[in-house]
Chains A and B, each alone.
Chain A
Amino acid sequence: MFQTDSQSKTQPFLDLLRLPLIGSLLKQRHARTLLQIPLFVISVAMILHGLFGPQLAPRNLATTLTWVHFRGALILVLLLAGNFFCLACPFMLVRNFARKFFRPNRNWPRYLRNKWLSVGLFVLMLFVYELFDLWASPWWTASLIITYFAGALVIDSVFKHATFCKFVCPIGQFNFIASTVSPLEVAVRDHDVCTRCTTKDCIRGVREPAAPLVVIQRGCELALFQPRKVGNLDCTFCLDCVQACPHDNVGIISRVPAMELATAPMIDTMRSGVGILSRRKDVAALVMVFAFGALLNAFAMVSPVYALEQSLARRLGVTIEAPVLAIVFGLFLVVEPLLLIGAAAWITKVWGRSNNSVVALAVRYSYSLVPIGFGIWLAHYSFHFLTGLFTFIPVTQAAVAELGSAVLGQPQWTLVGLPVNVVQVFEVGFIVLGLLGSLSVSYLLAASERMARVFIPWAVLSLLLASAALWVMSQPMEMRGLVLGSG
């Protein structure tokens, strides 16, 4: 987290790397690899089962682990800790292995060094998820996992640094935005130590003393220079900086969630590897997709969406889903957010008598939507995770039995998870938590600019999103592939 000089030696409530067991484990040189290997093995099992196993989603490891457990565990870890799934990313294990044999020598094109491509890929991912009913298709899910592995491997084999993570990976972008509300951050312990540091190994990497061009420990591949790093944006928690720092001055430190979005000094600060957040239209667009995509993704699982799609199909006279879905996406991910954010920004300009343009204000205050977006994703994913918590057990039992082994016994198909009515209480709690977060961020942003009353339009917008999410969560869930014209 950004620290002023007076705060340079503030003791954090918690530094994960200073805890007895977990700290010494994470500081091991091969800690990341040790965490990646189990996820890689599980990924391979998911791919094989997805391609060759039963094609009924609830009985397949690819669909069960991806859409129930991975997503749920990922968002809960982001809520309770930080971006630890990027730390344990199995795609990077394969990529790191490949880089032992050939080194990329190209730089990612300058015009792509922003989030616009990843905004498009994030939307595409959400679109493909609905169009091909990925949640219902083990084969497509396995193909998606293979695509991720192939994408990471190809892109990072051609282009230097962590190009795939920083500019391409939709999961990574989701984690970057979501981790701004996480309670932990990879950060400098004492800024005075950095001031006196002459080697800057956290960014340059540790060099072979006799051969300065040979890097024996990478520095940050995402161009985040620790002393000027602010917040969790673009940080994969890879811990390269921790390994590289010769002064043991980088920790995984507790902080106030979302504060990195919440004040004018924070979003107007030049962040290493990120720039000035209040000027990043591409990051704001990513936030917009993150927040409104959360609602759309949840909306797509309840009954009213089918009525809407059928109605649109009848009006258009089409029987294929893609154009109908494109219109729904256009309405919910482009028209609706632009109208609502635009209106809130315009009111901000008028009420605050601001000299900034409506677009600049929209960018600035759109960051207040991260917590409510996070709350909606959390409510949605934790619903599947908690109601299907134990389903990986019978699916694994069945997968092992298919291999001819009875070692795990007969599949216990009655093992499911928590009752829906219990989980719904959590869902409401998560949405309310997200709403409170967004209200706090927008208030602090407005107050730090001495324009407290412009908090109101952004509070109304967050309240609208929260109300819509609560309405969606109260609707009966419906799972089906859309057959247009079938009523």
Chain B
Amino acid sequence: MSYQVSPQPARVGDVTITINMKDRSERPIAGASVKLEGNMSHAGMAPVIAEAREIGPGHYQAKMKLTMAGDWDVLVLLTLPDGSEADQEFEIKNVAPV
């Protein structure tokens, strides 16, 4: 899985996250369900949840509203076409204030 966040550097507000998924033989994984959950590094903050839509074979895109400046931890929850589930995390560092 690879991902891109735009704009760069990310700022508080809407960001677009694009997830690209391939299987072990480097073929795009189409038809998956992709949910994103963004968490701040401090406890007690509301997670931001978004659902990605498939914009092309193996390419998924979601808009996520980052509500606070700082470091975000994004959890990607995948349900693959065969029904199996997986998850992966990545960080968006130093989200700037508005």
Contact = CB atoms under 8 A, between A and B. Distances in A.
Interface stretch (B23-31, B34-42, B50-58): B34-42
A479 B46 CA distance: 13
Interface string B68-98: 1111010100000000000001000110011
Contacts of B12: 476
Contacts of B71: 136, 479-481
A183 interface: no
Given A56-B73, A477-B68, A479-B70, A303 B41 contact: no
Contact of B97 (A60, A387, A388, A476): A476
A417 interface: yes
A57 interface: yes
A413 B89 CA distance: 17
Interface residues of B, number: 23
Contacts of B73: 56
Interface stretch (A61-69, A142-150, A252-260, A401-409): A61-69
A58 B97 contact: no
B44 interface: yes
A477 B69 contact: yes
Nearest to A420: B67
A391 B40 CA distance: 13
Given A477-B69, A479-B70, A387 B41 contact: no
Contacts of A67: 42-44
Given A413-B37, A413-B49, A58 B43 contact: yes
Contact of A57 (B43, B69, B75): B43
B68 A64 contact: no
Contacts of B68: 476-479
A133 B41 contact: yes
Interface string A54-95: 001111100110011000000000000000000000000000
A384 interface: yes
Interface string A165-200: 000000000000000000000000000000000000
B47 A58 contact: yes
B69 A417 contact: no
B12, B41, B68, B73 pick with most chain A CB within 10 angstroms: B41
Interface of B: 12, 37, 39-47, 49, 68-71, 73, 75, 89, 93-94, 97-98
Given A136-B42, A416-B46, A476-B97, 5 more contacts: A57-B42, A67-B43, A133-B41, A414-B46, A417-B44
